[in-house]
Amino acid sequence: MAKKILIAGKERNLSHFVSMELQKYDYLVDYASNGQEALSLAQETDFDLLLVSYQLADMTSTDLAKDLHRFKPAVVMIVVVESDEAKKYGQEIEKYAVFYTIKPFVISDLVEQVNTIFRGRDFIDENCQQVKLHAAYRDLKIDFQNRTVHRGQELVALTRREYDLLANLMESQETMTREQLLERVWKYESATETNVVDVYIRYLRGKLDVPGQESYIRTVRGIGYAMRD
């Protein structure tokens, strides 16, 4: 089923061009010129994503998020912000935003961020209260916004599959089975055996682990893998 996206912003021309690009990926796109209109549309339609300019004509995007979460807390938001707004309201934005993009931006890059959200990733917790932008385990840190991983101050270069595998492990509070990882990361595409998970775990350990130190990824015999003690 096609994903539904609501764009809310004062710049109608920009919203039109973004909408055209999103529709090339078969997204269903609607538009609101202000916060109240966005709230009204969101009450009528189950949007999968809101793409919102930080400063709307009648409220900020975070004000919109607060009102929206009272009746539809599971709606995911992207906040598009100016650089000065990102610095001033960064903590408030991160409380609600899955990604934020600083203007001016390349529309194709924004569309790729949207595609990333819908690539089998769940950024809202089970209570639909908080959106994650980062996660950490020991000195390993993952940035979901930029899809980057650091060990200490060192950037670790990962493939898309390796990153998605690590992201799922770091987000989970429980041990994940090979079947769960296969479904979430590979969607069973080109993979008929859970052995592919073990292969990519080895790849990850080869890039993440430090000789002489305990592996970041723990093998739970008979179950799967975990990144929590």
The domain boundary residue, chosen from 69, 88, 117 = 117
Q: Mind listing the pLDDT tens digit for each residue in 136-162?
A: 889 999 987 677 889 998 888 888 888
Q: Give the pLDDT mean for 184-191.
A: 66
pLDDT for res 37? 95
Are residue 99 and residue 151 in the same domain, yes or no?
A: no
The number of residues in the chain equals 229
What is the domain extent for residue 209? 134-226
The answer to pTM > 0.85 is no
The total of structural domains in the chain comes to 2
pLDDT for res 21? 93
Q: Give the pLDDT mean for 33-57.
A: 90
Are residue 112 and residue 145 in the same domain, yes or no?
A: no
Which segment of 18-22, 69-73, 143-147, 205-209 scores lowest on mean pLDDT? 69-73
Q: Within a domain: residue 126?
A: no
Q: Sign of the CA dihedral 110, 100, 29, 11?
A: negative
Q: CB of 148 within 8 A of CB of 227?
A: no
Q: Within a domain: residue 92?
A: yes
Strands 4-8 and 28-32: parallel
